[in-house]
């Protein structure tokens, strides 16, 4: 399969809207020559043979995005070069700039964006899931990958030895209904999962046993997501419209009014790696950040659009928050000024249809976004240099 090495090109210092060739089907030789000339003008030297191959493999839309985007991507993963066939449901960064994703195409993948390669593809043929992968996570040391699915199972797998995997399902104290979230504890000793059976399960990675099976009933709907506190002794569980702290040692829930988000049904959660911030997004297109030490609201943004917030993520230093919205936009908020400093949408480097997942690499140098381009759910994972995005959209202003 062709590797889109030509996508990584140097961003021009001054951006001007390019004149795009009127037709992109490139049916005639003259049109293809015109396209080659256009791409070379945009800093993408390409041979006619390579262009022909890309057209045959359906990669022309990604190529055109790379040629006309105001920020050059480090790489774009599509279904033609090892990416996902259907929308990405979960995205998380691990050590060594590894990017882990789960998808509606029933696969979990590990990418190495800097080398533009696919490190691991967990599908049904390799012992993977039989239904949508709803959530993925990677252990702090990068030695274990976990995935949860609508097939009601959790799979724990070492990427270095994929055949040596553990499967948790209802036959061995796993979930009896859809699995919504999997998350490794910050100390790397435990794995938490929650599902539509209204339970949170704690799996001890040293004994390979479920050591806590906690009932978390929600009158407002299923428990759709959870995150760990840095101490590895507490979880925050989204119960419909509420976020509830859960002590994993005792299995006790703290008072339901401890964190009153009041933003509608919670669809996304994130905990900052430094400080004491908790971010949540809702199905009503609202985003809220609170300080867990003071119980004070740090940031709130609402919208009447009603478009679901699919993902929220803090920058490594917790000064920025990114949110991915169902209408295709990605918003970056500076939590110090409490202002939206960047909006990525179809007018620049965002998605035309839906933005489904977003996140910074652990060192903050790379920024990944996943989304769809059309009603057919054509899916891309776009990886950028964060400093380039910042300089383009913030410092330029």
On whether both 373 and 291 belong to a single domain, the answer is yes
On whether both 110 and 175 belong to a single domain, the answer is yes
Q: CB-based contacts of 348: which residues, under 8 Å, 6+ apart?
A: 69, 70, 71, 393
Condensed to tens digits (0 to 9), the pLDDT of residues 57-83 reads 666 666 666 555 667 788 899 998 999
What is the pLDDT averaged over residues 133-158? 96
Q: Structure tokens of 317?
A: 């230093």
Q: Write down which residue in 41, 68, 95 finishes a domain.
A: 68
On whether both 64 and 79 belong to a single domain, the answer is no
Position with higher pLDDT, 330 vs 26 = 330
Q: Write down the pTM of the prediction.
A: 0.83
**pLDDT beyond 50 at 36:** yes
Position with higher pLDDT, 50 vs 117 = 117
State how far the Cα of 201 lies from the Cα of 90, in Å rounded to an integer. Answer: 19
**pLDDT beyond 90 at 20:** no
Q: Structure tokens of 253?
A: 């829930």
On whether both 52 and 149 belong to a single domain, the answer is no
Q: Write down which residue in 53, 68, 83 finishes a domain.
A: 68
Residue 235: predicted pLDDT: 93
Residue 97: predicted pLDDT: 96
State how far the Cα of 172 lies from the Cα of 55, in Å rounded to an integer. Answer: 48
Residues 109 and 101: beta-carbon distance below 8 Å: yes
State how far the Cα of 389 lies from the Cα of 337, in Å rounded to an integer. Answer: 19
Of 383, 382, 370, 344, the C-alpha closest to 104 is 370
Position with higher pLDDT, 35 vs 302 = 302
Residues 333 and 321: beta-carbon distance below 8 Å: yes
**pLDDT beyond 50 at 3:** no
On whether both 199 and 130 belong to a single domain, the answer is yes
**pLDDT beyond 90 at 187:** yes
Q: Structure tokens of 379?
A: 């899916």
State how far the Cα of 240 lies from the Cα of 223, in Å rounded to an integer. Answer: 6
- Average pLDDT over all residues of the chain: 84
- Backbone φ, ψ for residue 247 (5° rounding): -85, 115
Q: How confident is the model at residue 47 (pLDDT cuts 50, 70, 90)?
A: low
Range of the domain at 53: 5-68
**pLDDT beyond 80 at 304:** no
Position with higher pLDDT, 22 vs 205 = 205
Q: Where are the alpha helices (DSSP H) in the chain?
A: 29-41, 48-56, 60-68, 386-390
For tokens 């691990």, the residue is 94
State whether residue 79 is helix, strand or coil.
Answer: helix
Condensed to tens digits (0 to 9), the pLDDT of residues 258-274 reads 456 678 889 999 999 99
Q: Write down which residue in 68, 97, 114 finishes a domain.
A: 68
**pLDDT beyond 70 at 86:** yes
Total domains in the chain come to 2
Helices 48-56 and 29-41: crossing angle, nearest 10°?
A: 110
Pairing label, strands 117-122, 108-112: antiparallel
Least confident range of 68-72, 147-151, 181-185, 355-359: 68-72
Q: CB-based contacts of 292: which residues, under 8 Å, 6+ apart?
A: 229, 276, 277, 278
Residue 51: predicted pLDDT: 66
On whether both 52 and 142 belong to a single domain, the answer is no
Residue 26: predicted pLDDT: 42
Position with higher pLDDT, 153 vs 173 = 153
Residue 249: predicted pLDDT: 87
On whether both 224 and 263 belong to a single domain, the answer is yes
Question: How many other C-beta atoms can be found within 10 angstroms of the C-beta atom of residue 220?
Answer: 12
Residue 38: predicted pLDDT: 63
On whether both 45 and 85 belong to a single domain, the answer is no
Residue 302: predicted pLDDT: 82
On whether both 128 and 55 belong to a single domain, the answer is no
Condensed to tens digits (0 to 9), the pLDDT of residues 214-259 reads 988 766 556 678 999 988 899 999 888 888 889 988 888 776 444 5
Q: How confident is the model at residue 347 (pLDDT cuts 50, 70, 90)?
A: confident
Q: How far is CA 41 from each of CA 5, 46, 140, rounded to the nearest angstrom? A: 17, 11, 43
Residue 22: predicted pLDDT: 42
**pLDDT beyond 70 at 41:** no
Q: What is the CATH number of the domain that holds 285?
A: 2.130.10.10
Q: How far is CA 114 from each of CA 6, 68, 370, rounded to the nearest angstrom? A: 13, 21, 17
State how far the Cα of 208 lies from the Cα of 111, in Å rounded to an integer. Answer: 27
On whether both 352 and 376 belong to a single domain, the answer is yes
On whether both 269 and 388 belong to a single domain, the answer is yes
**pLDDT beyond 80 at 308:** yes
On whether both 277 and 383 belong to a single domain, the answer is yes
């Amino acid at each position: 399969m062709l590797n889109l090495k030509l996508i990584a090109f140097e961003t021009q210092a001054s951006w001007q809207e390019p004149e795009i060739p009127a037709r992109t089907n490139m049916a005639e030789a003259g049109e293809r020559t015109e396209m080659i000339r256009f791409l070379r003008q945009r800093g993408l030297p390409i041979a006619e043979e390579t262009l022909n191959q890309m057209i045959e493999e359906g990669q022309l839309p990604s190529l055109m995005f790379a040629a006309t985007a105001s920020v050059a991507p480090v790489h774009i993963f599509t279904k033609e070069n090892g990416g996902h066939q259907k929308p990405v449901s979960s995205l998380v960064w691990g050590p060594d700039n590894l990017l882990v994703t789960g998808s509606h195409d029933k696969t979990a993948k590990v990418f190495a964006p800097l080398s533009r390669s696919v490190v691991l593809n967990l599908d049904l043929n390799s012992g993977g899931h039989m239904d949508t992968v709803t959530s993925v996570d990677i252990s702090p040391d990068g030695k274990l990958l976990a995935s949860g699915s609508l097939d009601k199972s959790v799979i724990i797998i070492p990427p270095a030895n994929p055949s040596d995997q553990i499967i948790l399902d209802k036959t061995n104290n796993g979930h009896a209904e859809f699995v919504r979230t999997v998350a490794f504890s910050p100390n790397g000793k435990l794995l938490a999962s929650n599902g539509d059976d209204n339970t949170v399960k704690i799996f001890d990675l040293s004994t390979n046993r479920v050591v806590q099976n906690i009932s978390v009933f929600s009158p407002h709907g299923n428990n759709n997501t959870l995150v760990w506190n840095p101490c590895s002794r507490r979880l925050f569980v989204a119960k419909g419209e509420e976020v509830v702290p859960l002590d994993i040692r005792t299995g006790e829930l703290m008072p339901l009014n401890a964190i009153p988000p009041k933003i509608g049904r919670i669809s996304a959660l994130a905990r900052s790696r430094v400080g004491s911030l908790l971010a949540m997004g809702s199905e009503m297109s609202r985003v809220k950040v609170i300080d867990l030490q003071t119980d004070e609201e740090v940031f709130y943004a609402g919208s009447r659009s009603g478009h679901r917030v699919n993902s929220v993520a803090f920058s490594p230093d917790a000064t920025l928050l990114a949110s991915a919205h169902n209408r295709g936009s990605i918003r970056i908020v500076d939590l110090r000024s409490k202002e939206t400093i960047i909006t990525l949408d179809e007018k620049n480097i965002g998605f035309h249809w839906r933005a489904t997942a977003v996140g910074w690499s652990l060192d903050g140098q790379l920024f990944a976004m996943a989304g769809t381009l059309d009603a057919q759910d054509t899916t891309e994972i776009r990886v950028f240099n964060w400093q380039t995005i910042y300089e383009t959209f913030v410092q330029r202003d």
